[in-house]
Amino acid sequence: MEVSYYQLVSYLGAAFGVGLASIGAGFGEGYVAGEACHAMMKQPKARDHLLRTMLIAQALAETGAIFALLIALLILFGNVKEAANNLPDLISVFAAGLVMGLGCIGTGTGIGYTGGKACMGIGRNPRQTNLITRTLFVGAAVAESTAVYSLVIGLLLLFVA
Amino acid sequence: MEITGVEIIRAAALLGAGICMGFGAIGPGIGEGFVGGKACEGIARAPENSGLLTRTMLVGQAVSESTGIYSLVIALLLIFAV
Amino acid sequence: MKKAKKKKIIYIILAIIILEAAVSVGLNYELQIGRVDGKFVVRNVKSKESIKERIDEEFQSDTIVKIAGRFPVNWNVIKVILAVDLLIILFGFFVYKNVKLIPTKIQIIAEDLYTFFRTIVTDTIGEEKVHFTPYIATIFIFIELCNIIGLIPIPGNMEPTRNLNVTLGLGTMAIVLVHFFAIKEKGLFPYLKEFAEPVFLIAPINIISEFGNLISISFRLFGNILGGAIIILVISNLTRYILLPVGLNMFFGIFIGTIQAFVFTMLVLSYTAVAIK
């Protein structure tokens, strides 16, 4: 029987990538939404600001998972190393999925925590919405940098190594 | 498919690069997010100290990010130097 | 009046969609509009280039041109940067020449930008360091324009920040200026002494962390913009690029581009604040 090892590594890599990345993103976005609800309960007048901040924070927390989806789509549909027949090329496809999946657990959780605390802060002190949103942007973008490093390593594994 | 010893070493280096950057990204991500969250909370409580809080947040995040950068360097070495 | 405006917006969006569909080239497919065998067709055909070649192009889109026969430059990147520079200079010149007591629309934009950054600078560094405002605002406007210029659908037009050399150059400039300001503010010996804080043994780690700052701000900008570009390329292919690429372009070009430009600016400002205090 002719066995395609590429299919083996690509299915495993895509599954690990998106599956692991979803842990962080799901946890983080849920935390943001929970804190936003809590803040709305305390301060119903600020609900417009809170809804906006919540959606922005969730979009930021999801960026890592979108990168993971990108790597998975590239692995599955991109025909990147389909003709590969040696071990290093096959392993690099699996490693690209793994690095993106693991890399997003931390950033998703971390950005979610930042967004949640920002929502809580707006609920406590709605007058400082601009200041808090600014801090949220900077803090979340710095926390995201490790996901970007993972993306760079994943793309290098797929296309250069 | 025949596998030679050199290929196994190369494959291990590539898989190692993936594992290194992947696990190395978990800690800094959570830690930096924690710093950012606490800074937001602090600014809500004491908005007049926002400059100080933002500076402290960035310094703390830069320090906690250094492990992520070590992972990046090691992963690049594993891909290109091994 | 309002209805006419809405109609105009709809026409603009339609024009963008058609342009996008016409110029966006997918991974293995591309859109074909025209007459084939006497019939008018709009369909997808298999393209000659594979996805791997296309993404390789994204990585190394270099066209080396030698200026005066000696200095090699990457013309693909330089031409877009020159266009951005020209836009900024024209904008500044136009506003400067037409200052009025009752401001025109373009003057309001410029004044708003200045006031916004003035507030941020005085909040972060202090009231007496307000002369940093033009420097900080220029960094933001330059990176923001570089990030969103890729939205204009002209073949060969790409964001300069998608190239690692550009972002590393920007980061190096920013970090070197941070140290320059620190030396100017404190004097050379107090500045050097800070590296040995709190213990002398820790100095190598302090120096490494400065390089860490440089790597992190450059790679963050580069990775986000490159990731966005490749996502648009991949998903356009899967959906046969009808409608969705426009929304994705808006998300990655405007939302992510603006946030990354703002974050770069804020980080440069905060590093400066940490260094000179």
Judged by CB atoms closer than 8 Å, whether chains meet at B69 and C277 is answered as no
Say how far apart CA B47 and CA B68 lie, in whole Å.
31
Distance CA A44, CA C153 (A): 44
Whole domain around residue B75: which residue ranges?
25-81
HSE (CB half, 13 Å, CA atoms) of C93? 6
| CB atoms closer than 10 angstroms to residue C9 | 10
Which residues of chain B neighbour A101 with C-beta distances below 8 Å?
A: 22
Q: Average pLDDT, whole number, for chain C? A: 79
Question: What count of Cα atoms within 13 Å lies in the side-chain half-sphere of residue A36?
Answer: 21
Coil, helix or strand for C66?
strand
Q: What is the pLDDT of residue C103?
A: 83
In angstroms, the separation between the Cα of residue C7 and the nearest Cα of chain A is 28
* Residue-level pLDDT at C35: 65
* Beta carbons of A140 and B33 less than 8 Å apart: yes
Give which of A125, A153, A154, A121 is closest to A139, Cα–Cα: A121
Q: What is the pLDDT of residues A121-152, one digit of tens each?
A: 999 988 888 889 888 988 888 888 889 899 98
Helix (H) or strand (E) segment spanning residue A117: helix A87-124
- The answer to whether the CB atoms of A67 and C270 lie below 8 A apart is no
Cβ <8 Å between A142 and C237: no
Distance CA A85, CA B7 (A): 11
The angle subtended at Cα A151 by Cα A146 and Cα A155, nearest 5°, is: 150
- What pLDDT does A26 receive? 93
Nearest to A151 among C223, C255, C267 (CB): C223
Of B7, B27, B61, the CB nearest to A88: B7
In the predicted model, is pLDDT for residue C72 greater than 80? no
pLDDT of residue C59: 59
B74 in contact with A, Cβ within 8 Å:
no
Query: How many domains would you assign to chain B?
Result: 1
Q: What is the pLDDT of residues C23-34, one digit of tens each?
A: 554 444 555 556
For residue C221, which phi and psi values (nearest 5 degrees)? -60, -50
Please state which of the ranges A113-117, C199-203, C211-215, C233-237 shows the lowest mean pLDDT: C233-237
Q: What is the pLDDT of residues C122-138, one digit of tens each?
A: 888 888 888 899 999 99
Of A132, A144, A150, which has the smallest distance from its Cβ to B43's Cβ? A132
Res C3: pLDDT: 75
Partner-chain contact C52 A73, CB within 8 Å: no
Q: What is the DSSP string of A19-69?
A: HHHHHHHHHHHHHHHHHHHHHHHH-GGGHHHHHHHHHHHHHHHHHHHHHHH
Inter-residue contact A104 to A147 (CB < 8 Å): yes
Of A133-142, C21-30, C75-84, C233-242, minimum mean pLDDT range: C21-30
CB A108 within 8 A of CB A21: yes
Tokens of A104: 């997003």
More confident residue, C32 or C140: C140
Per residue in C170-184, pLDDT (tens digit) is 999 999 999 999 999
Q: CA-based Rg of chain B, rounded to a whole angstrom?
A: 19
Suggest the residue from A53, A76, A93, A151 to mutate for an interface test with chain C (most C CBs closer than 10 A): A151
- Give which of B61, B46, B37 is closest to A136, Cα–Cα: B37
Structural domain includes residue B13: no
Give domain limits for chain C. 48-276
Contact B40 A135 (CB under 8 A): yes
Residue B10 within a domain = no
Residue B77 C-alpha, separation from nearest chain C C-alpha, in angstroms? 15
**What is the reported pLDDT for B36?**
92
Residue A51 corresponds to which tokens in the numbers above? Answer: 């809804």
What is the band of C41 on the pLDDT scale with cuts at 50, 70, 90?
low
Cβ–Cβ below 8 Å for B22 and A101:
yes
Mean pLDDT value of segment A49-54: 89
Residues of A in contact with C52 (CB under 8 A): 78-80, 159
Predicted local confidence at residue A117, as pLDDT: 94
The sign of the torsion formed by the CA atoms of A15, A158, A144, A130 equals negative
> To probe the interface with C, which of B32, B52, B58 has the most C CB atoms within 10 Å?
B58
Question: What per-residue confidence (pLDDT) applies to C25?
Answer: 47
Q: Coil, strand or helix: which one is A126?
A: helix
Q: Rounded mean pLDDT of A32-59?
A: 90
Could you tell me if residue B18 is inside a domain?
Answer: no
C-alpha C234/C-alpha C257 separation (Å) is 19
Residues C210 and C204: their CA atoms lie apart, in Å, by 10
CB contact under 8 A, A70 and C231: yes
Q: How far apart are CA C209 and CA C195, in angstroms?
A: 11
Q: Do A153 and B17 touch (CB under 8 A)?
A: yes
Please name the member of A60, A67, A145 whose beta carbon is closest to the beta carbon of C227.
Answer: A67
Condensed to tens digits (0 to 9), the pLDDT of residues A53-110 reads 899 899 888 888 988 988 898 888 777 776 677 888 888 899 999 999 999 999 999 9
Query: In C, residues 64-123, which contact A (CB 8 Å cutoff)?
Result: 120
Across the interface, which of C212, C270, C277 has its CB nearest the CB of B58?
C270
Q: Which chains touch C (3 or more CB pairs under 8 A)?
A: A, B
pLDDT of C201 above 50: yes
DSSP letters, C204-262, are HHHHHHHHHHHHHHHHHHHHHHHHHHHHHHHHHHHTTTSSHHHHHHIIIIIIIHHHHHH
Task: Average the pLDDT over C248-256 and give the result.
Answer: 77
CA atoms within 13 A on the CB side of C75: 6
Q: Is A101's CB within 8 Å of B43's CB?
A: no
Nearest to C52 among A73, A80, A152 (CB): A80
pLDDT at C51: 62
ipTM: 0.88
Q: Do C270 and A142 touch (CB under 8 A)?
A: no
Which residues contact residue C198 at a Cβ distance below 8 angstroms, ignoring those fewer than 6 apart? none
Contacts of B78 in chain A (CB under 8 A): none
For the record, the structure tokens of B60 come out as 């703390």
Shortest alpha-carbon distance between residue C246 and chain B (Å): 31
Taken in order of first residue, the domains within chain A and their CATH numbers are 5-78+85-159 (1.20.120.610)
* pLDDT of the residue at C238: 67
On the question of pLDDT at C242 being above 60, the answer is no
**Domain membership flag for residue B43:** yes
CB within 8 Å: A159 and C52: yes
B6 lies in some domain: no
Find the closest chain A residue to C230 by CA distance. Answer: A70
Mutation target among B48, B66, B76 for the C interface, most CBs of C within 10 A: B66
Tens of pLDDT, residue by residue over B12-43, are 999 999 999 999 999 999 999 999 999 999 99
